[in-house]
Amino acid sequence: MTAELISVGTELLLGNIVNTNAAFLARECAGLGLSVYYQTTVGDNPQRLEAAVRQALSRSDVVILSGGLGPTQDDLTKEITASVFGSALKEDAHTRERIQAYFDARGTKEIAENNWKQAVVPEGALVLDNENGTAPGLILEKDGKTAVLLPGPPGELIPMFRKAVYPYLHRKQPEIIVSEMVKLCGIGESRAEQMITDLIEKQSNPTIATYAKTGEVHLRVTARAADREAAELLIKPVLKELGARFGEFIYTMEEKVTLEEAVASLLKEQGLTVTTVESCTGGLLAGRLVNVAGVSEVFKQGFVTYSNKAKRKLVGVKKATLREVGAVSERTAREMARGAVLATGADAAVSVTGIAGPDGGTEEKPVGLVYIGVAVRGQTWVQECHFTGNRARIREASVAAALTLLRKGILETAEN
């Protein structure tokens, strides 16, 4: 079966935003075993949009449109697609109620009239509830062709795709694709790939693909088979081999588990609490830990010590240390981590101090120099990192490195 993507939006045509939806949808289609041969971006222009929809339906089985479902006059995706499918538009009572409830939940008293446009749907369409916004998704079918309409904001599109569209398309597709993810930290992509070149080259089913994320490498093992059981039988020995080769670099073999979740689980297993003390990352590390629902069991508090004074006052970094070796140093990172344990009574602490730029670098301490400190059960580790890229990238890389070193500290002191 073939699928095709149409992204609708002037922001895309003007280049004001990057089309991450297309990459997400393409990846999901690949996972479903749907072949995607075309992706098109058009604006909110009725003639061009209609031509794009007609052309896509003429050459692909499934057409996934994103964007142009909002409340404004510009938003035409639903109207155009309904007209191509020959469906009349009518108000959907359930969607009207849902939109009303959406605004009620936010305490909105006066709902702008144009919002009700979003409760109008093509007759015969399957309506997909939007749990993160107002515009519903829609699925239309006719003469063996399917059109899927999704809202443009990724925060609405992605959950809706996962919840409603994936299972829907999955049922249409006779051969299935099953993939498993092996996630690594503390190793670079080139090295990871070199360690399995033979596997990558030999295998055609399952295939192994590597993806570099900030501070992480993900390996996707994908098998194609008649059913899930057969696919899993193909995947199992590959996972075992990857486990043998990568060992402790693997922080999870579950697709949905993030590095912060893996670290939080490890802390729970070991009955440890952790605190954070951050300079250049300024709260992002704590923020990532708090991504984990239920993290309160292991994470109670953290510090952002951006100034030298805060480093001294909040976590007791010594004045002499700051004077002699400066805030961005191995000693400061170590004192921050130790001091945070003392200040909070947590079992573990992780600290970050570095130069995220664009200013503040010197020849001796260039932009990108970051020290990570970890204290667990009385032991400490410090890692010196040299990151490249802009301020945001250096800070993200620092957070990933901090989680990775914390994980290492927990594993090395594990009591079993």
Site residues for its own copies, 96-135, by CB under 8 A, read 102, 105-108, 112, 114-115, 131-133
The least distance separating its own copies from the CB of residue 290, rounded to whole angstroms, comes to 3
Q: Which residue stretch of 139-147, 224-232, 333-341, 355-363 sits at the interface with its own copies (rule: CB under 8 A)?
A: 355-363
Write the single-letter amino acid at 309: K
Write the single-letter amino acid at 185: C
Q: Is 398 in the site for its own copies (CB under 8 A)?
A: no
Q: Is 286 in the site for its own copies (CB under 8 A)?
A: yes
Q: Is 30 in the site for its own copies (CB under 8 A)?
A: yes
Rounded to an integer, what distance in angstroms lies between the CA atom of residue 274 and that of residue 300? 8
Residue count (the chain): 416
H-assigned helices in 152-280: 154-160, 166-172, 189-194, 197-202, 228-246, 259-269
Bridge partners of residue 281, in order along the sequence: none
Q: Which residue stretch of 160-168, 298-306, 331-339, 402-410 sits at the interface with its own copies (rule: CB under 8 A)?
A: 298-306
Q: Which residue stretch of 21-29, 89-97, 167-175, 372-380 sits at the interface with its own copies (rule: CB under 8 A)?
A: 21-29
Q: Which two tokens stand for residue 229?
A: 């059981």
Q: Considering only residues 150-189, where is the footprint of its own copies by CB under 8 A?
A: 153, 155, 159, 188
Report the residue from 95, 305, 329, 404 that binds its own copies according to the rule CB under 8 A: 305
Q: Is 304 in the site for its own copies (CB under 8 A)?
A: yes
Q: Is the dihedral of CA 361, 365, 370, 372 positive or negative?
A: negative
Bridge partners of residue 140, in order along the sequence: 147
Q: Is 194 in the site for its own copies (CB under 8 A)?
A: yes
Q: Which is nearer to its own copies, 125 or 280 (CB)?
A: 280
Phi, psi values for residue 348, rounded to 5°: -145, 155
Q: Is 198 in the site for its own copies (CB under 8 A)?
A: no
The least distance separating its own copies from the CB of residue 301, rounded to whole angstroms, comes to 4
Q: Is 342 in the site for its own copies (CB under 8 A)?
A: no
Report the residue from 358, 379, 412, 414 that binds its own copies according to the rule CB under 8 A: 358
8 A C-beta contact, residue 223 and residue 206 = yes
For residue 60, the tally of other CB atoms under 10 A from its CB is: 21
The least distance separating its own copies from the CB of residue 286, rounded to whole angstroms, comes to 3
Report the residue from 41, 173, 265, 413 that binds its own copies according to the rule CB under 8 A: 41
Q: Which is nearer to its own copies, 141 or 199 (CB)?
A: 199
Q: Is 314 in the site for its own copies (CB under 8 A)?
A: yes
The least distance separating its own copies from the CB of residue 307, rounded to whole angstroms, comes to 4
Write the single-letter amino acid at 348: A
Report the residue from 124, 190, 205, 237 that binds its own copies according to the rule CB under 8 A: 190
Q: Considering only residues 63-82, where is the footprint of its own copies by CB under 8 A?
A: 71-72, 74
Q: Put the strands of the sheet holding 176-185 in their side by side order.
A: 207-213, 216-225, 176-185, 250-252
Report the residue from 198, 229, 359, 363 that binds its own copies according to the rule CB under 8 A: 359
Q: Which residue stretch of 75-83, 142-150, 264-272, 296-304 sits at the interface with its own copies (rule: CB under 8 A)?
A: 296-304
Rounded to an integer, what distance in angstroms lies between the CA atom of residue 203 and that of residue 193? 14
Rounded to an integer, what distance in angstroms lies between the CA atom of residue 275 and that of residue 339? 10
Q: Which two tokens stand for residue 405?
A: 């070193």
For residue 291, the tally of other CB atoms under 10 A from its CB is: 12
Buried b / exposed e across 84-102, counting CB within 10 Å, b at 16+?
A: bbebeeeebeebeebbeeb
Phi, psi values for residue 301, rounded to 5°: -160, 160
Counting residues that bind its own copies (by CB under 8 A) gives 106
Q: Is 202 in the site for its own copies (CB under 8 A)?
A: no
Q: Which is nearer to its own copies, 51 or 234 (CB)?
A: 51
Rounded to an integer, what distance in angstroms lies between the CA atom of residue 98 and that of residue 95? 5
Q: Considering only residues 363-382, where is the footprint of its own copies by CB under 8 A?
A: 366, 368
Q: Is 193 in the site for its own copies (CB under 8 A)?
A: yes
8 A C-beta contact, residue 32 and residue 148 = no
Q: Which residue stretch of 141-149, 166-174, 383-391, 408-416 sits at the interface with its own copies (rule: CB under 8 A)?
A: 383-391
The least distance separating its own copies from the CB of residue 124, rounded to whole angstroms, comes to 28
Report the residue from 128, 208, 235, 285 that binds its own copies according to the rule CB under 8 A: 285
Phi, psi values for residue 203, rounded to 5°: -85, 135
Half-sphere exposure in the Cβ direction for 177 (13 Å, CA): 22
